Chains A and B, each alone.
Chain A
Amino acid sequence: SQTIHQWPATLVQPVGSPLSLECTVEGTSNPNLYWYRQAAGRGLQLLFYSVGIGQISSEVPQNLSASRPQDRQFILSSKKLLLSDSGFYLCAWTIGSSYNEQFFGPGTRLTVL
């Protein structure tokens, strides 16, 4: 069966510090991968998605970036965090264009102080 992992689970970072959040998927090959951000009590905002290694599509211009160095690894990064980057970051995967269900990881709670 497939599983998706995210770490760290929680993170407190000062403004201006760098960020690296990691997402890995097990039990599947060549998944589509997604990064979402969820502000408190709000809906899901798609940040990036990837259909393959090295292929990244950005949905919202901002100081975040994403990379996919391996088939089942998706990384969200920032060189300098802003207060507004605080939120709940969710990674999701789907098998591909044949299946539309997205399955979410447990999330990372980021607080920027």
Chain B
Amino acid sequence: GQQLNQSPQSMFIQEGEDVSMNCTSSSIFNTWLWYKQDPGEGPVLLIALYKAGELTSNGRLTAQFGITRKDSFLNISASIPSDVGIYFCAGLYSGAGSYQLTFGKGTKLSVIP
């Protein structure tokens, strides 16, 4: 089956620093999604990407759909303490009636005030 490699697995940064994480796959996707999960809660959708090369921002967050359709990255600028959490990428190839997202294993972000 399809697999996503998400990196880094975890990161510790100082408040105010920028953050970058990415996901790569051996298969192509035509949808990339980025979620954030706070402890004890369900993941919340941050950004959805539907076109290769697409660059989309949501406040301090920016995500891009790779040209090859096999990767995506998420950047967070000027991190703040509430950015702490686990960030998941997810990809979908919408072929043959597929309804299943493939999730990365997550990037755990810690922000040091």
Contacts and interface: CB of A to CB of B under 8 A. Distances in A.
B42 A102 contact: no
Contacts, number: 52
B103 interface: yes
B88 A49 contact: no
A100 B104 contact: no
Contacts of A41: 108
Interface string A32-44: 1000000001111
Contacts of B41: 106-107
Interface of B is mostly: loop
Interface residues of A, number: 23
Range for the number of chain B residues in contact with chain A: 20 to 34
A92 to B, nearest CB: 8
6 contacts: A44-B43, A46-B101, A100-B33, A101-B45, A104-B35, A105-B42
Interface of A: 32, 41-44, 46, 49, 51, 59, 88, 90, 92, 94, 97, 100-107, 109
